[in-house]
Amino acid sequence: MFTQISAASFESRIFSLIKNQWFCITATDNEHINPMTAAWGSLGVMWNRPVFTVVVRNTRHTFSLLEKSDSFSCSFFPKEYRDVLTYCGRHSGRDVDKIKETGLTVHHFDSFIGYEEADLVFCCRKASRTLLSPDQFIDDTIIHHYEHEDYHIQYMGYIEKIYRKEV
Ligand SMILES: Cc1cc2nc3c(=O)[nH]c(=O)nc-3n(C[C@H](O)[C@H](O)[C@H](O)COP(=O)(O)O)c2cc1C
């Protein structure tokens, strides 16, 4: 059972959570729900509000969906779902229905979409989008992440709700 918690009370080893545990960004065009694995992102405060920032390359199906949507969610899973996250990070929603293929169960948090199998879900409303373009890179080594010029779009989302599963 999920319990809603406030951003102020949220505690976690956030760097390990994002980089090592990974998470799924879910965007929808109201027809298709598509989870995409991510290991880069940040949590913080912007414009006086708690925000979750994700970065999505312009080649991802998720990018097309995010462009059409006002919101997205970030779902974290227990470690036994590592294979599911790997699948969602290796296959595109353009080619497969990842919900069907992974057996994930969609859970509606009001208008936001997460998963029954998740243990932590951030429901976010898009606040801003920024192209991370090479002329803005100060560290020269960053460019090596973009051999194919598939630059990230950075989406900052206001965290509207956080749900944690009771154990
Ligand atoms: C561990 C892991 C982390 C990833 N992190 C990101 C990320 O932060 N941003 C991104 O654009 N792609 C990331 N990817 C790649 C996408 O998940 C992958 O290309 C996926 O197939 C895109 O799905 P989509 O086309 O349905 O959006 C990651 C993949 C893995 C396995």
pLDDT in 10s for each residue of the chain, 167 residues = 999 999 999 999 999 999 999 999 999 988 889 999 999 999 999 999 999 999 999 999 999 999 999 999 999 999 999 999 999 999 999 999 999 999 999 999 999 999 999 999 999 999 999 999 999 999 999 999 999 999 999 999 999 999 999 76
The pLDDT assigned to 134 comes to: 97
3-state secondary structure of 18: helix
- The pTM of the full predicted model, rounded to 2 decimals, is 0.97
Single out the residue of 32, 35, 24, 25 nearest to residue 98, CA to CA: 35
The pLDDT assigned to 156 comes to: 98
The pLDDT assigned to 166 comes to: 78
The pLDDT assigned to 145 comes to: 97
Residues 6 or more apart whose Cβ sits within 8 Å of residue 149? none
- The span from the CA of 27 to the CA of 59, in Å, is 15
* Superfamily of chain region 2-165: Electron Transport, Fmn-binding Protein; Chain A (2.30.110.10)
Please report how many Cα atoms fall inside a 13 Å half-sphere around the Cα of residue 72, on the Cβ side: 31
* Residue 92 CB less than 6 A away from ligand 1: yes
* Residue 32 CB less than 6 A away from ligand 1: no
* Residue 60 CB less than 6 A away from ligand 1: yes
Distance 38 CA to ligand 1 centre (A): 5
Return phi, psi of residue 73, to 5°: -130, 160
The pLDDT assigned to 30 comes to: 85
Q: Which atom of ligand 1 is nearest to the CA of 56?
A: 11
